[in-house]
Chain A
């Protein structure tokens, strides 16, 4: 009986935290609503998702091409002035908290919700603003149906508003070398330790530093 009770308590804890929503902006949001993240499957690779994306450098890629390195991924839109710059900065904070030798093995992936406004050129401008050098950031522009599918796999909930902006979950996710979700940080300006540890573990487990 006792182990069962513990299992139930643990399950409800996990479920509870997965469903928890960020209320930090409850009283001061003006137009922007934060959507809680959805539960995700961590068993299998999100790189099964087919479909083409355009990078901020103008290249066409499929997500599966990101295999072989850990990826820190978030979803944003360029004209967002509230949560998105914080999310991009959160990704940068994770990167900067990594020991120097680990950094070059990590890709920071920012995928736009905004099929219409976030052209590769607009994203290139955005990427430049956040520095870190040539090959760290990867901003992606995609088609609505691919954006919806990727967001669903990541557990990012979003919707386009009548004014063209987006309500969305604030989520930074660590993917392993195969594209499986290994760690998620929900909210804005959160501590980076868990994401940093998850990235280092992927790099260590796959012996990426010795290649």
Chain B
């Protein structure tokens, strides 16, 4: 009996919440990375409802020792990978339901791959974000305030627990920034200008409009352009995407 209970217990822990279907459709990005492409046609895909938590990541590194802190190859991170973990298979106290951070792009990709998924592309993430905003019926101003609020005080937001069993997209803007597969492509065609390396006046012309929401979104794009694939900051997590079967 005890044996069966422990098996059931294991299954309950290991079962991941079902990812959420993001229905495809036409989409106009708030930031135009290619001035000749205004509207994107997105296919259906699935996305985790929430960012990956410490508890989920702990389970993963227990099963994949080469991604434990002491074992991760130096080429795949900047030296601060999981730096605040007390041990290789031990998360900081009280962190189980928080979004995991201090993970590099390489680590995030490896995690998603092990789960049968991948990182979302930048377009997929932003498209899901735009759908999420509509579902939440957040005004542009509320969205902008939330985003800037988190950026000015990331710790306060990150301490609130996540519900990994959420049935709908959650916490896209109020916990952490999230890795995307092609984060390094902050460039507009024909100009050779990174958003980061051109002046503010230059970059603003790649915004589709100049409302509060677009400025807030632009801020997220700018954050991305600061990352390297080895970055392991305390404000950057991830969630996984999945192709349709």
Q: Which positions in A face B, CB cutoff 8 Å?
A: 19, 21-23, 26, 29, 33-36, 38-39, 41, 43-46, 48-49, 145, 148-149, 152-153, 157, 159, 162, 167
Query: Counting CB contacts under 8 A, is B42 at the interface?
Result: no
| Docked CA distance A39–B74 (Å) | 15
A-B contact count (CB 8 A): 57
Whether, in the assembled complex, B9 has its beta carbon less than 8 Å from a beta carbon of chain A, the answer is no
Given contact pairs A26-B192, A145-B113, a sample of 9 additional A-B residue pairs in the complex whose CB atoms are under 8 Å apart: A34-B192, A35-B187, A44-B75, A45-B73, A148-B181, A149-B109, A152-B229, A153-B75, A167-B187
Number of interface residues of B (CB under 8 A): 23
Q: Which residues of B contact A157 (CB under 8 A)?
A: 184-185, 187
Q: Are the C-beta atoms of B105 and A33 separated by less than 8 Å?
A: no
Chain B residues with CB under 8 Å of A29's CB are 190
Contact A149 B184 (CB under 8 A): no
> Within 8 Å CB of B230, what residues of A?
41
* Among all A-B residue pairs, the 3 with the closest Cβ atoms: A44-B75, A48-B73, A44-B74
Cβ-neighbour of B105 out of A34, A152, A167 (below 8 A)? A152
Distance, CA A29 to CA B189, complexed state (A): 11
Cα(A111)–Cα(B176), bound, Å: 35
Chain B 196-226, CB within 8 Å of chain A: the 1/0 string?
A: 0100000000000000000000000000000
Residues of A within 8 A of B187 (CB): 33, 35, 157, 159, 167
> How far, in whole Å, are A21 and B118 apart by their CA atoms in the complex?
30
Closest to B77 in A: A41
Residue B148 is within 8 A (CB to CB) of chain A in the complex: no
Contact partner of A44 (CB less than 8 A), chosen from B73, B105, B192, is B73
Residues of chain A within 8 A (CB-CB) of B37 are 162
Return A83 CB to nearest CB of chain B, in Å.
Answer: 14
9 contacts between A and B (CB under 8 A): A22-B192, A23-B192, A33-B187, A33-B189, A35-B185, A45-B75, A48-B76, A148-B181, A152-B106
Could you say which residues of chain B place their CB within 8 Å of the CB of A159? 182, 185, 187
